[in-house]
Amino acid sequence: MPLGPPSHHGDDVPLGLAGAEKHLYQVNLDAGQLQVQRAILQLRVDYLSQLNTQTMLLAGAAVGMLSSLELEAIYPEHEHERTFKKVLLAWIYVFFTSVSLGSSIWVLYTSNNLVNLATMSVLHASRLRDVQG
């Protein structure tokens, strides 16, 4: 039995030296393309991680704004000091801070899911086409 690569390539055609070189070229090409796709995926995951960091800062600021004493300074305690303008200002403050917090939580949830899906798709990919985006 001769040593070296098998003499057939699955479709019962003898490979020979030229066929083996062609097969090696295709394997190297696929490996290079897979490496490029992994690098692209890593860039996307890094971007989503950076987005998570920025969103966490924004969510923290929104929680800080809702829990701070600023709202008490805007919204008067005594009934005679409450004017439409002051009540509207307090309502706008709470509304937009809550929208900011809700949006931040949604972005965190979505980007974390995308990172997990990207990781799982690479782990379960069986062909190069499965990894390509």
pLDDT band (50, 70, 90) for residue 100: very high
Strand intervals (E) in the chain: none
Top pLDDT among 22 and 11 is at 22
pLDDT recorded at residue 10: 54
Tens of pLDDT, residues 46-58 = 898 898 899 999 8
pLDDT value at residue 19: 86
For residue 1, what pLDDT is reported?
43
Structure tokens at 83: 């004017």
Which range has the top average pLDDT, 1-5, 66-70, 111-115, 126-130? 111-115
- pLDDT score, position 120: 82
The percent of the chain in helix, strand and coil, each rounded to the nearest 5, is: 80, 0, 20
- Compute the average pLDDT of residues 4-22: 66
Residue 14 confidence (pLDDT): 61
d(CA 72, CA 79): 14
Q: How far is 65 from 71, CA to CA, in rounded Å? A: 8
Please, are residues 103 and 12 in contact by the beta-carbon 8 Å criterion? no
| Predicted model pTM | 0.64
Report the distance separating Cα 74 and Cα 90, nearest Å.
Answer: 6
Residues 6+ apart with CB under 8 A from 35: none
